[in-house]
A and B are shown apart, each in its own frame.
Chain A
Amino acid sequence: MPAPIRGKLYAPGRARIVLGISRSRRVAAPDSVAAGVGQYVGAMGHRIVILGGGIAGTLAANRLRRLYGDGAEIVVVDRDDRHVYQPGLLYVPFGLTEPEEIVRPRAKFLADGIELRLGEVERVEAGDNTVFLADGTSLPYDVLVVATGASLLPEETEGMTGPGWNESVFTFYTLDGAVALRDALRSFEGGRLVVNMIDMPIKCPVAPLEFCFLADWFLHERGVRENVELTFVTPLDGAFTKPIASRMLAGLLQEKGVALETEFATGRVDGETGRLISWDERELPFDLLVTIPLHGGPEFVARSPGLGDELGFVVCDQHTLQAGVAPNVFAIGDATNVPTSKAGSVAHFQGETLVENVQRFFDAEPLVGSFDGHTNCFIETGFHKALLIDFSYDVEPLPGRFPRPHLGPLPLLKESRLNHRAKLLFPWVYWNVLLRGRELPGIGAQLQMAGKTAPTAKGEPE
């Protein structure tokens, strides 16, 4: 069962108010909130269709199954039965993980009683409460959860998939790409290695930085580091999106001899001559390019009236996760347009809010706006160390201790061997705790300030 409600009560058109009641003492739904839900109430079944069987869809399905048992029919739709542990992709190019270790069948992680339907989604017609699949079948739903993640769009950048693609131009954001890059890095003897991201948003915004840190370590171990000019190229005005962490990470890049090129908006890639060219005609030469392509929502979102924004991400309320297109549609994970990182930890922290609100929708009660943008990421920094950052919509990554205030044991925004060891345990946690839709002991869905050092008036932590 979800934890007692200690979130904010959210009602469209009203201010959010803090609520601290337990499940047994619910307030009745105000009329204004129940309105719009009413048309669905009555002979309503509990048929829940979840699009996407990655981390977000899987944990949502398992949490809903635990809540409803046989009281709801739950169908998960995905195009294949291969669940990729995406955090593992970073390790493949350095030979630290074998590709087959990070792929498992989706079905194995869905609780008994959940149906996995393999098929390509054609479109969602929210007005008809129906999902249409490419094979012509239709899936009617009472509640729809969109958890289809983000797609890579390398072809949107001129030249990226042209000459040199997977020869001198690589991405490790796909399994095939990560394997091709591994083979190239093994025989890379020296030259200009450029790590580049085209534009935000991307999945795991710290991954390009981690790639730089691990490449520094890997090339050092191979004895060729001094022959390599390593550069991180970003459209942002700093190493990361949040100021304190950005300065800290820029310092680490400098320490490791990684050059930082900011505000470079890549317009095209010339794989033949090995040049990155910005929209304002600046040029950066490379011998080996590791790029993070543009991201967007999956194509079916664009074909579904009213569902997505111009990039194909599902438009939804950033606190309740209810989609703008209809009150019985929700979104979770990378598929949403909410302004926080696209990361597995976000899907995990959203899980509680999502399930609570699906239940409240069925019960015609006001939704809770309890999701606060909470994100938690390890940042591998090479040489058996890692950083840990913990942040939300309102709070940027700060120094401190995690998960227990002051006790930790993990230090925040600081390199440590302990963080690296915790990260090594993470695949087990992912497959056995997060996907099952279980809670991590001592780590709440909402960000906690206790144990964090708030910045002073000058903007620096004390």
Chain B
Amino acid sequence: MTTTTISGTTLEVDAEGFLLDPGQWNEQVAEAIARERGIERLTDRHWLVITFMRKTFLETGSAPSIRTLGKASGVEVKELYQLFPKGPAKLAALIGGIPKPRGCI
């Protein structure tokens, strides 16, 4: 386990930077992580996805896959890749302060 300091707060993260405790997350943390990963500003569309991810994780205990995001978050898969380049589910989870989606079995 490692720690990282974002906007003055010390956070516990795993080897890939995912927050270990979703309770340590707040909007400033999200914006700081996003900037670190090359997303300069989080728009309403970003927040729609991030909020959906957190809500799903906190309710069900697992982070949604890209396919689930595309069907249920209100943002289609193509746009997800524009908002969160390369790996939308992974990146949105990282910014949303929840564990990495397992995605598959």
Contacts and interface: CB of A to CB of B under 8 A. Distances in A.
B72 interface: yes
Given A279-B78, A280-B81, A294 B104 contact: no
B35 interface: no
A201 B103 CA distance: 9
B1 interface: no
Interface string A196-218: 00011100010000000000000
A279 B72 CA distance: 18
Contacts of B81: 265, 267, 279-280
A236 B104 contact: yes
Interface in A299-352: 310-311, 339-341
Interface stretch (B2-10, B24-32, B39-47, B61-69): B61-69
A241 B71 CA distance: 23
B15 interface: no
Interface residues of A, number: 17
A199 B66 contact: yes
Contacts of B80: 279
B68 A340 contact: no
Interface residues of A: mostly helix, strand, loop or mixed?
Answer: loop
B93 to A, nearest CB: 15
A176 interface: no
B74 interface: no
Contact of B85 (A200, A201, A280): A280
Contact of A280 (B72, B86, B102, B105): B86
B68 A200 contact: no
B77 interface: yes
Given A279-B78, A280-B86, A311 B105 contact: no
Contacts of B86: 280
Interface string B84-95: 011100000000
Contact of B104 (A241, A310, A311): A241
Contacts of B65: 199-200
B77 A267 contact: yes
A263 interface: yes
B66 A311 contact: no
Interface string A43-85: 0000000000000000000000000000000000000000000
Contacts of A263: 87
A310 B87 contact: no
A371 to B, nearest CB: 14
A340 B105 contact: yes
Contacts of B104: 200-201, 236, 241
Contacts of B66: 199, 265
B71 A339 contact: no
Contacts of B105: 200-201, 205, 241, 339-341
Interface string A228-243: 0000000010000100
Contacts of A279: 77-78, 80-81
B77 A294 contact: no
Contacts of B67: 199, 294, 311
B99 to A, nearest CB: 15
A267 B81 CA distance: 10
Name the residue among B66, B71, B77, B104 with the largest chain A CB count within 10 angstroms. Answer: B104
A200 B67 CA distance: 9
Contacts of A294: 67
Interface in A232-262: 236, 241
A263 B77 CA distance: 15
B79 to A, nearest CB: 10
A340 B105 CA distance: 6
Given A267-B81, A280-B86, 15 more contacts: A199-B65, A199-B67, A200-B103, A200-B105, A236-B104, A241-B105, A265-B81, A267-B77, A280-B81, A294-B67, A310-B68, A310-B71, A339-B102, A339-B105, A340-B105
30 contacts: A199-B65, A199-B66, A200-B65, A200-B103, A200-B104, A200-B105, A201-B104, A201-B105, A205-B105, A236-B104, A241-B104, A241-B105, A265-B66, A265-B81, A267-B77, A267-B78, A267-B81, A279-B77, A279-B78, A279-B81, A280-B81, A280-B85, A280-B86, A294-B67, A310-B72, A311-B67, A311-B68, A311-B71, A339-B102, A340-B105
- The 8 lowest CB-CB distance pairs between A and B, nearest first, are A200-B104, A279-B81, A310-B71, A310-B72, A339-B105, A241-B104, A280-B81, A199-B67
Interface of A: 199-201, 205, 236, 241, 263, 265, 267, 279-280, 294, 310-311, 339-341
